[in-house]
Amino acid sequence: MSTHDLPELDLAASCDCGAVTLAIKGRPVSMFQCACQNCQKASGSGHSSIVLFPVAATKVTGATKSFVRPADSGANFTRHFCPECGTTIFAESSRAPAFRIVPVGLFAGQNDWYVPNQLIFARSQAGWDLIDDHIPHHSAYRPETHR
């Protein structure tokens, strides 16, 4: 799926308590699933469903709190969340500072456009977490050619 095949979006979503809103206007860069252990902890499931947007396509309204941790790549991974209810709004990696990593579940009820094209960190995938076998599974980060 090329970037031009991805949907043009104009959406807004908020955290559980409504204190923080994320507006999206434009095309995603990529849509994928991640089974790294950090995504499992953050999602409370076997993987996270992710959509990647250019920073310029996103607008956050309201104050967020952040948590920075080292990623397997050696980059810093920063998760931004509502300080009141704890909902993750977006994340970012020092490895790819031009992009925001957005949990597609933030757009619950208005995310039928989401079609993941790959699974990253399949090496951590739990056997009970059933992910479509028809999408490529990468043991760690996806190759740059599979954005």
- Residue 74 Rama label (left phi>0; alpha psi -120 to 50; beta): left
Evaluated on CA atoms 47, 53, 57, 63, the torsion sign reads: positive
Look at residue 147 in the predicted model and tell me its pLDDT: 43
* 4 has a pLDDT exceeding 70: no
Residue 138, token pair as written in the block: 């990468």
* 126 has a pLDDT exceeding 80: no
Look at residue 124 in the predicted model and tell me its pLDDT: 74
Q: What is the residue-wise DSSP string for 6-26?
A: SPPEEEEEE-TTSS-EEEEEE
> pLDDT, tens digit, for every residue of 18-54?
999 999 999 999 998 887 777 767 777 877 889 999 9
> pLDDT, tens digit, for every residue of 86-103?
999 999 999 889 999 999
Structural domains of the chain in order of their starting residue, each with its CATH number: 3-146 (3.90.1590.10)
Give the pLDDT mean for 1-10: 75
Q: What is the residue-wise DSSP string for 21-42?
A: EEEEEE--SEEEEE--HHHHHH
Task: Residue 22: count other Cβ atoms within 10 Å of its Cβ.
Answer: 25
User: pLDDT tier at 143 (50, 70, 90 boundaries)?
Assistant: low
Higher pLDDT pick, 114 / 71: 114
CA 56, distance to chain mean position in Å, is: 16
CA distance 40 to 38: 5
* 80 has a pLDDT exceeding 80: yes
Look at residue 129 in the predicted model and tell me its pLDDT: 78
* 146 has a pLDDT exceeding 50: no
Per residue in 40-74, is it b (16+ CB within 10 Å) or e — as a string?
bebbeebbbbbbbbeeebbeeebebeeeeeebeee
